[in-house]
Amino acid sequence: MSQLIDNRKEADAHLVGLGQQLEAEKKSNVQTFIMHKLDDERVFYKPDADHDWKELREALVGTLNVSTLSSIKDYLTDNPDGLDLQKTMVHVRGPQLVDVISTPFGGFRQRDVFMQARAVIPEHMFNQHVSPDKFVPWLQSCFCESEDLQSLLQVSGNIVDTSEVHLLDDGVSQEVSIRQGAARKSTVPVPCPAVLIPFSTFVEVDQPPRKFVFRLGSDPLTCSLIEADGGAWKITAISSISEWLHANLPDGVKVIA
Mark whether 145 and 224 lie in a shared domain: yes
CA distance 139 to 212: 13
Strand 254-256 and strand 88-94: the pairing is: parallel
113 neighbors 101 (Cβ within 8 angstroms): yes
What average pLDDT does the segment 166-188 reach? 53
Mark whether 180 and 203 lie in a shared domain: yes
Domain presence at residue 138 = yes
pLDDT exceeds 90 at position 14: no
Mark whether 251 and 173 lie in a shared domain: no
Closest by Cα among 215, 192, 203, 185 to 240: 203
Mark whether 17 and 74 lie in a shared domain: no
Structural domain including 43 reads 1-55
Other C-beta atoms closer than 10 Å to the C-beta of 101 total: 20
Q: What share of the chain is helix, strand, coil (3-state, %, to 5)?
A: 30, 30, 40
What average pLDDT does the segment 20-33 reach? 61
Mark whether 166 and 41 lie in a shared domain: no
pLDDT at 184: 44
Check residues 197 and 45 and name the one with the higher pLDDT. 197
CA distance 221 to 46: 64
What average pLDDT does the segment 222-231 reach? 91
Mark whether 225 and 181 lie in a shared domain: yes
Check residues 237 and 131 and name the one with the higher pLDDT. 237
Mark whether 226 and 143 lie in a shared domain: yes
Domain presence at residue 38 = yes
Angle 157-162-165 (CA atoms, 0-180°, nearest 5)? 65
Domain presence at residue 126 = no
Phi-psi region of 123 (alpha: psi -120 to 50; beta: other; left: phi over 0): beta
pLDDT at 41: 67
Domain presence at residue 190 = yes
- φ, ψ (nearest 5 deg) of residue 245: -65, -45
pLDDT at 244: 98
pLDDT at 176: 57
Check residues 34 and 125 and name the one with the higher pLDDT. 125
Return the top range by mean pLDDT from 21-25, 49-53, 55-59, 152-156. 152-156
Across 65-69, 134-138, 157-161, least confident range: 157-161
pLDDT exceeds 70 at position 181: no
Model pLDDT for residues 92-104, shown as the tens digit of each residue: 999 999 999 999 9
Average predicted confidence (pLDDT) for the chain:
81
Mark whether 157 and 211 lie in a shared domain: yes
Sequence-distant contacts of 154-159: CB under 8 A, at least 24 apart: 154/188, 155/188, 155/190, 155/214, 155/216, 156/132, 156/223, 157/132, 158/186, 158/188, 159/132, 159/216, 159/221, 159/223
Across 16-20, 64-68, 114-118, 232-236, least confident range: 16-20
pLDDT exceeds 70 at position 30: no
Alpha helices (H) in the chain, listed in sequence order: 2-29, 69-78, 132-142, 147-157, 232-248
Mark whether 68 and 51 lie in a shared domain: no
- φ, ψ (nearest 5 deg) of residue 18: -65, -40
How many domains does the chain divide into? 3
- Cα 246 vs. chain centroid, distance in angstroms? 21
Domain presence at residue 178 = yes
Mark whether 153 and 218 lie in a shared domain: yes
Mark whether 141 and 205 lie in a shared domain: yes
Model pLDDT for residues 142-173, shown as the tens digit of each residue: 999 999 999 888 888 776 544 555 555 555 55
257 neighbors 241 (Cβ within 8 angstroms): yes
Mark whether 141 and 79 lie in a shared domain: no
Check residues 234 and 1 and name the one with the higher pLDDT. 234
Domain presence at residue 217 = yes
Residue 211, H or E segment: strand 210-217
CA distance 66 to 116: 6
